Chain A
Amino acid sequence: MTDIPAPQPDPSASIEIRPSKGLLDLELDAIWRYRELLIVLTLRDIQVLYKQAALGVAWAIVRPVVAVVIFTVIFGNFAKMPSDGLPYPVFAFAAVLPWTYFAEAVRRAASGLVTNSELVQKVYFPRLIIPIAGVIAPLLDFFVAFVVLLGVMVWFGVTPSWHLLAVLPLLAVAALLGLAVGLWLAPVNVRFRDVQHTLPFMLQIWMYATPIVYPITIVPIEWRWIYSLNPMVGVIEGIRWAVVGKSNPDIVAIGIGVTAIGLLLIGGLIFFKRMERSFADVI
């Protein structure tokens, strides 16, 4: 113990503890007060991810590359899937990357409370931090693999344009969607671990409902609006446009997507906050 001055209790730091608060009190300011913990937990997730793996961070590249190779062989070569006039590997890669990120973000946001159950039971902090950290950590993988994507594009003679900048806001939309879905699933997962087991199927189905291995143009025009209710449609098409610059971004699809995400996110926040109080007791 060093000569640290005596603690000066700060009367403003008083905590009120009562059974229930208002439905709409989301305590988002608490996230700001605990931002250091958010940063540290995110860093921990990143540091730990590839510890004791011989390939280390190369896994961030291997996974999407393997997926792209498989898709190229099956859909590009055997099925002769149209690809908006792009080389199929570039076409697929530009969509697989944001999807891989999104799927990982959902998985982490939904299962983070259970993986960190020890913390939830023994330490107080705003529980929202865990899904938020889960959504931030896999961004690193995305950017590592993104560099590889640029290399692949150059190899196939596709030049990126200034559209590339649009990747960041679109990625942010994907992150918010991942968080929104995670906020709905995480409290259910605390009570029923079935979520963890069902999640891979759900994500698989969702992937095929999103234009990743095929272009949106093969969806009949009259069904397009229903199809666009899947918020990932706008995101994936948008990112593909931003990266390779061909085909126009579907503003309507992005608009529908963003609205859906907004509703999902607000509902998710309220649901999560409401369930948060019983996490430590049920987990």
Chain B
Amino acid sequence: MKHDIVINADHLGKCYRRDAASARPDSFRDMLAAGLGALLRGGRSERAGRDAFWALQDVSFEVSRGENVGIIGLNGAGKSTLLKILSRITTPTVGYARVVGRLGALLEVGTGFHRELTGRENTFLYGAILGMSRAEVARKFDAIVSFSEIEDFIDVPVKHYSSGMYVRLAFAVAAHLDPDILLLDEVLAVGDYTFQRKCMEFARQLEQRGSTILFVSHNMFSIKTMCPRVIYLKQGRVIYDGPTDEGLRLYESDSELSSARWFHPSKDPSLVITDIELCAEDGNQKTLFEFGERMRIRIAYRAFKPVERAHFLCSIKRSDELLCCNFSSYYDNLDLPRISGDGAIEVLTPPLRIVSERYYVTIAVREKGLQQLVAGQIGPSFHVRHDVINAADFGIFHEPAHWRVLNSAREEMESECERR
């Protein structure tokens, strides 16, 4: 299987001198001296100096042909530096990498577009910048234009384009590059919703044809939908490389969301939630749910003192903290006269018909029905996925409704409906 490795990174490291761009020499003489020094040291100048800063350190991994790998990490973790090294824009300070096949790198959509040139001229220019031959662009030109949906404006200088049109044209060109390996840096996050869907669709098509995709994103949702494997970078080092679900859990527990996760109503709580698990109906843990899927939420608790007539309230909140729905053991008439010690409780939700978005779960426990709050906790987050039903177009939830036609053609229509 060794021959199927298309990207091999071996202990890659990249060191920047912190003062490289920001230093302000005091005098012209200093500047000349510094400049001469830098020139003499040549490309290796970044090795010197005490202000060395390792943007990437000891990064090793292999990617097989056809694999989609997400690269996650907080800002400054070295994700973009890694892509820049793999695409040869910048060179590593140490280490070695090997990339097999035609490489397309989209670190930014539309780099190299010239404002004064028309859409047509820019298509050829940008195609060449991305590594396509003129003949290749000419052959794919019609497909590019129809993908971009700006047929009427193709001979207008792009300075008259709206930013959306600009991005669509640029992406359309990039989409027709047909690389063996594609490096994407946040570029799918541009454009309006329908165009984003088109981009995801494009990525999926590439995947089906066996292309390898390395994908940097802060959007965990697109990472989840596209990549079965993630590499998690933290301060320039790989701290996790493996299945996406586990990697995202790690990432989310590291990011700020989880630092605000535990809260107790009092200093001496009578009960704490020790664990919250989100599972599919079959009981397997997961964080990405299909629209309409049921979810099992398992809540483990430890009661230091007995809690009378406990009331578990499980809420689903959208990522922007909008409360979407509650599942209440009290209103669902679950009788819990008295709980104490370690225990667990599970709720199986009805089919979740909330729109495609990111959500999180919060748990509250009350004593004696609606009285005294004894514990509250923000739980893990999850995504609901649906290709069409999204927050911008469908609001918060979507249920199929019952429709009836009331005009003169009513009877025919109704009878037709009945036949179905």
Contact B117 A48 (CB under 8 A): yes
Given A9-B6, A188-B39, the answer on whether A123 and B133 have CB atoms closer than 8 Å is: no
The interface-forming segment of B108-116, B229-237, B308-316, B354-362 is B108-116
Is B84 engaged at the interface, CB distance under 8 Å to the other chain? yes
Set A37, A51, A116, A192: member contacting B35, Cβ < 8 A: A192
| Interface size in chain A (residues, C-beta < 8 A) | 47
Contact A118 B111 (CB under 8 A): yes
Given A9-B180, A10-B101, A40-B124, the answer on whether A281 and B20 have CB atoms closer than 8 Å is: yes
Nearest residue in A to B176 (C-beta to C-beta)? A1
Is B211 engaged at the interface, CB distance under 8 Å to the other chain? yes
Residues of A near B128 (CB, < 8 A) are 36-37, 39-41
Contact A18 B96 (CB under 8 A): yes
CB distance from A185 to the nearest CB of B (A): 12
The interface-forming segment of A93-101, A137-145, A225-233, A270-278 is A270-278
Is A79 engaged at the interface, CB distance under 8 Å to the other chain? no
Residues of A near B132 (CB, < 8 A) are 36
Contact pattern, A 42-75, Cβ under 8 Å of B = 1, otherwise 0? 0010011001100000000000000000000000
Contact A278 B43 (CB under 8 A): yes
Residues of A near B140 (CB, < 8 A) are 2, 4
Could you tell me which residues of chain B, from 2 to 36, have a CB within 8 Å of some CB in chain A? 3, 6, 16, 20-21, 31, 35
The interface-forming segment of B85-93, B240-248, B271-279 is B85-93
Is B65 engaged at the interface, CB distance under 8 Å to the other chain? yes
Residues of B near A51 (CB, < 8 A) are 116-117
Cα separation A187 to B39 with both chains bound (whole Å): 9
Contact A15 B129 (CB under 8 A): no
Cα separation A216 to B419 with both chains bound (whole Å): 102
Is B94 engaged at the interface, CB distance under 8 Å to the other chain? yes
Contact A16 B98 (CB under 8 A): yes
Cα separation A118 to B129 with both chains bound (whole Å): 12
Could you tell me which residues of chain B, from 147 to 193, have a CB within 8 Å of some CB in chain A? 147, 175-176, 178-180
Contact B209 A191 (CB under 8 A): no
Given A11-B100, A19-B94, A282-B21, the answer on whether A48 and B107 have CB atoms closer than 8 Å is: no
Contact B38 A4 (CB under 8 A): no
Is A248 engaged at the interface, CB distance under 8 Å to the other chain? no
Set B16, B20, B179, B205: member contacting A1, Cβ < 8 A: B205
Is A280 engaged at the interface, CB distance under 8 Å to the other chain? yes
Contact A278 B45 (CB under 8 A): yes
Contact A280 B84 (CB under 8 A): yes
Is B305 engaged at the interface, CB distance under 8 Å to the other chain? no
Is A122 engaged at the interface, CB distance under 8 Å to the other chain? yes
CB distance from A40 to the nearest CB of B (A): 4
Residues of A near B98 (CB, < 8 A) are 14-17
Contact A277 B102 (CB under 8 A): no
Cα separation A107 to B176 with both chains bound (whole Å): 36
Given A17-B96, A19-B94, the answer on whether A282 and B42 have CB atoms closer than 8 Å is: no
Is B283 engaged at the interface, CB distance under 8 Å to the other chain? no
Residues of B near A22 (CB, < 8 A) are none
Is A20 engaged at the interface, CB distance under 8 Å to the other chain? yes
Cα separation A48 to B129 with both chains bound (whole Å): 17
13 contacts between A and B (CB under 8 A): A1-B202, A9-B100, A10-B101, A13-B102, A15-B103, A16-B98, A19-B91, A20-B91, A116-B112, A123-B111, A275-B42, A276-B43, A281-B16
Given A17-B98, A17-B99, A123-B107, 10 extra CB contacts under 8 A: A4-B176, A7-B209, A16-B97, A17-B97, A18-B91, A19-B94, A40-B129, A48-B116, A116-B112, A124-B105
Binding site for B on A (CB under 8 A): 1-2, 4, 6-7, 9-11, 13-20, 36-37, 39-41, 44, 47-48, 51-52, 116, 118-125, 187-188, 191-192, 274-278, 280-282
